[in-house]
Amino acid sequence: MGKLFSFAVSIVFMSIETDNNTEQKILEAAEEVFQEKGFDGARMQEIADKANINKGLLHYYFKTKDSLFEAIFSIAFHTMIGQIQSIMSLEISLNERIDRIVDDFMSMLAKNPALPRFVITELNKNPDRFIAKHVNHNTRATFAAFINSVQKEIDAGNIRPVDPRQLFMNMISMIIFPFIGRPMVQVVIGLNNKEFLQLMQERREHIKLFLKQAIKP
């Protein structure tokens, strides 16, 4: 955890400083290559090339491919989980929560469309290892708060009775899946890249309305 912390600090530091030092160049290159190719498909040579350094120097900064991957995956995983948790834990109504989670999540994914596929693929290849390492004690407490807030709305008659866990799955499924399944979606619907992006833009308001409509009393 100390390692992660110092790493996060260095990231913040770097984004403040305009100086683009070697470590930062490596991390940017590694993020790109790992997210695109996955751990198994990524090559240290390609990362070195993209960072404009040689393999020797790459191994000087990160002794092994595993340790470099860990640094990249850790940030990606916490970006995903953090996005979910931050919205879950707010003290707002379900309608506001829907608006926030759709807007925030889709803005983040528009900037980093490869993120969910990367996290989910690597998580599937080795669930135990990463979950034990990265999931903290707050994860469950945060979701419990979400369940309570949904139950309150049901009791108040604001929405129809619905399993909060299913509702949660519906929300993140509709938000995340089109990014992960983009090539398949484009093929089946028959969309070029421009049309797909247009549809994703319209999708924000569509999902908000669709969800609210589905849980109306």
Residues at the interface with DNA (CB under 7 A): 22, 42-45, 53-57, 59-60, 63-66
Among 123, 145, 158, 208, binds a second copy (CB under 8 A): 123
What's the token pair of residue 178?
């089109």
Going by the DSSP 8-state scheme, the letter that residue 51 receives in this structure is T
| Binder among 81, 108, 145, 154 for a second copy (CB under 8 A) | 81
Query: Is residue 57 within the footprint of a second copy (CB under 8 A)?
Result: no
CB of residue 97 vs a second copy: minimum separation in angstroms? 15
Q: Computed over its alpha carbons, how large is the radius of gyration of the chain?
A: 20
Q: How far is CA 146 from CA 90, 135, 160, 173, in A?
A: 9, 18, 16, 17
Binding status of residue 160 toward a second copy by CB under 8 A? yes
Binding partner at 139 among DNA, a second copy, none, C-beta below 5 to 8 Å by kind: a second copy
CB of 63 to a second copy, least distance (A): 22
- Could you count the other beta carbons within 10 Å of the beta carbon of residue 55? 13
Cα angle, residue 83 at apex, residues 14 and 187 outer, rounded to 5°: 100
Pair 177, 106: CB distance under 8 Å: no
The answer to whether residues 167 and 215 touch, using CB atoms and an 8 Å cutoff, is yes
Binding span for a second copy by CB under 8 A among 11-19, 60-68, 101-109, 115-123: 115-123
| Pair 158, 217: CB distance under 8 Å | yes
Which one of residues 1, 19, 40, 137 is an interface residue with a second copy (CB under 8 A)? 40
Q: Tell me the C-alpha distance between 114 and 18, whole Å.
A: 26
Site for a second copy in 161-180 (CB under 8 A): 162-163, 165-166, 168-170, 172-174, 176-178, 180
**How many CB atoms within 10 Å of residue 166?**
9
215 binds, among DNA, a second copy, none (CB under 5 to 8 A by kind): a second copy
Instruction: Give Cα 117 distance to the centre of its chain.
Output: 8
Of 58 and 215, the one with the shorter C-beta distance to a second copy is 215
Binding residues for a second copy (CB under 8 A): 36-41, 80-81, 84, 116-117, 119-121, 123-125, 127, 131, 135, 139-140, 143, 160, 162-163, 165-166, 168-170, 172-174, 176-178, 180-185, 187-191, 199, 202-203, 206-207, 210-211, 213-216
